[in-house]
């Protein structure tokens, strides 16, 4: 998201100074850092569908392309029938400074090749270990709505080129606030629960750049979220619920932007369930849930399911995903269904290559939303 980087660094430095003053050990005990990078290129093919619905289609910037594929809603990544390596390519570096056994500070800065996203603060938070089981974090973090949310930027961490964008698609992915994390072993189960509160302002929001040529500002207020996760041997289950208030404005004028309901602000909800397994050479990933933006009056049930099989340095993955956005008027009924086949090759330590084919079917009621397309993508991931 586009934010004032200089201001964030100043605030972060001030917080570090205060923690250092009140820390039991004035000098930091340790500093650890890590980094990642992903280079992705791709293009779409298929029967030509030039243009889109003037009300519910994409921005005119994509209307001249025969086919199109939204690969990253949150950062405005869209492939067309012209090859591009700038829609998902990114790099990041993260550092954690440990003050003592209780307090630490973490910051992550990422850079993307998308327009106006060349330097972003994704993480900037303080961690306080209140007890061995209870952790308090204050600052800027990722919204953990989905299973992959916390590490979605780190392509090396999963076997496909991207989590299915049919499902992973919101206009805000970060928040500024506070979270409380509790971990507990219950018998043979490892459990973790998190509760969070915060807000986020996103100026010149990349999500809405996909659907309108007029720059938009988005505000999420009073964000409340709960996440609970349980792991037993090869099985992991994860449940998440989020609620917030939503507002949208014209970036140039500050004028509220009316939604279908005739208002520009309202509540929204998200509920998600992940059921995953790692059984021998098999890798199973499943997510289900529903989104509800009441201001528009839509409900959006979604799912994704992938099955992977490890073969020495290779992982072959197949999957399907879908989302249906039912609106309060007939024209707003967007339906997308996708299938994928991906091959990952770990050719050396901490490095991989991926090749992926996606097929998207747009069966929206009325005018198509993005149209049908085939997508070929090639990616290189590294962590260091």
Position 270 scores a pLDDT of: 95
Tokens encoding 352 = 């991989």
The whole-chain average pLDDT of the chain stands at 88
pLDDT classification of 85: cutoffs 50, 70, 90:
very high
pLDDT classification of 117: cutoffs 50, 70, 90:
confident
DSSP string, 246-270: EEEEETTT-PBPP-TTS-SEEEEEE
Mean pLDDT of 7-19: 49
pLDDT surpasses 90 at 10: no
pLDDT surpasses 80 at 329: no
Position 187 scores a pLDDT of: 94
pLDDT surpasses 80 at 79: yes
pLDDT surpasses 90 at 162: yes
pLDDT classification of 56: cutoffs 50, 70, 90:
very low
Lowest mean pLDDT of 44-58, 183-197, 259-273, 287-301, name the range. Answer: 44-58
Position 64 scores a pLDDT of: 77
Mean pLDDT of 232-256: 94
Report the top-level CATH class of 5-23+32-383: mainly beta
As a whole number of angstroms, the distance between CA 149 and CA 30 comes to: 27
pLDDT surpasses 90 at 191: yes
Q: Which of 289, 278, 199, 190 is nearest to 239 (CA)?
A: 289
Question: Cβ neighbours of residue 131 under 8 Å, at least 6 residues apart?
Answer: none
pLDDT surpasses 50 at 26: no
Position 284 scores a pLDDT of: 98
Domain ranges of the chain: 5-23+32-383
Question: Cβ neighbours of residue 348 under 8 Å, at least 6 residues apart?
Answer: none
Q: Which of helix, strand or coil describes residue 8?
A: helix
Position 258 scores a pLDDT of: 74
Tokens encoding 92 = 């990041």
Position 54 scores a pLDDT of: 39
Position 61 scores a pLDDT of: 76
CA distance readout (Å), 148 to 157, 227, 287: 9, 13, 10
Tokens encoding 85 = 């390596």
Q: Is the model's pTM score more than 0.85?
A: yes
Report the share of the chain in percent with pLDDT over 70.
87
Position 325 scores a pLDDT of: 80
pLDDT surpasses 60 at 2: no
Mean pLDDT of 314-329: 87
Give the Cα-Cα-Cα angle 309, 320, 311 (nearest 5 degrees): 10
């Amino acid at each position: 998201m586009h934010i004032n980087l200089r201001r964030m660094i100043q605030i972060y430095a001030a917080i570090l100074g205060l923690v250092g003053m009140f820390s039991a050990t004035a000098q930091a005990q340790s500093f650890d850092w890590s980094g990642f990078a992903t280079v992705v290129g791709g293009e779409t093919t298929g029967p030509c569908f030039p243009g889109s619905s003037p009300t519910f289609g994409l921005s005119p910037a994509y209307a001249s392309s025969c086919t199109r594929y939204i690969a990253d809603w949150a950062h405005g990544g869209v492939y067309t029938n012209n090859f591009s390596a700038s829609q998902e390519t990114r790099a990041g570096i993260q550092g954690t400074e440990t003050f003592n056994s209780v307090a630490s500070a973490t910051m992550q800065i990422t850079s993307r090749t998308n327009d106006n996203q060349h330097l972003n603060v994704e993480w900037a938070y303080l961690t306080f270990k209140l007890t061995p089981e209870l952790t308090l974090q204050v600052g800027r973090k990722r919204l953990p709505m989905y299973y992959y949310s916390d590490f979605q930027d780190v392509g090396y961490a999963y076997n496909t080129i991207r989590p299915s964008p049919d499902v992973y698609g919101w206009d805000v992915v970060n928040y500024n606030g506070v979270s409380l994390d509790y971990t507990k072993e219950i018998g043979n189960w490892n459990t973790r629960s998190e509760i969070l509160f915060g807000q986020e302002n996103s100026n010149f929001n990349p999500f809405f750049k996909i659907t309108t040529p007029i720059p938009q500002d988005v505000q999420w207020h009073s964000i409340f979220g709960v996440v609970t996760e349980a792991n037993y041997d090869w099985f992991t289950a994860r449940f998440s619920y989020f609620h917030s208030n939503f507002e949208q404005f014209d970036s140039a004028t500050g004028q509220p932007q009316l939604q279908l309901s005739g208002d520009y602000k309202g509540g929204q909800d998200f509920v998600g369930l992940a059921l995953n397994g790692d059984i021998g050479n098999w890798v199973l990933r499943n997510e289900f849930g529903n989104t509800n933006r009441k201001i528009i009056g839509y409900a959006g049930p979604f799912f994704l399911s992938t099955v992977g099989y490890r073969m020495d340095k290779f992982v072959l993955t197949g999957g399907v995903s879908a989302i249906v956005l039912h609106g309060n008027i007939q024209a707003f009924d967007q339906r997308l269904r996708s299938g994928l086949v991906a091959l990952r090759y770990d050719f050396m330590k901490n490095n991989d290559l991926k090749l992926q084919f996606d097929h998207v079917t747009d069966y929206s009621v009325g005018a198509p939303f993005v149209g049908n397309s085939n997508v070929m993508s090639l990616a290189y991931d590294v962590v260091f």
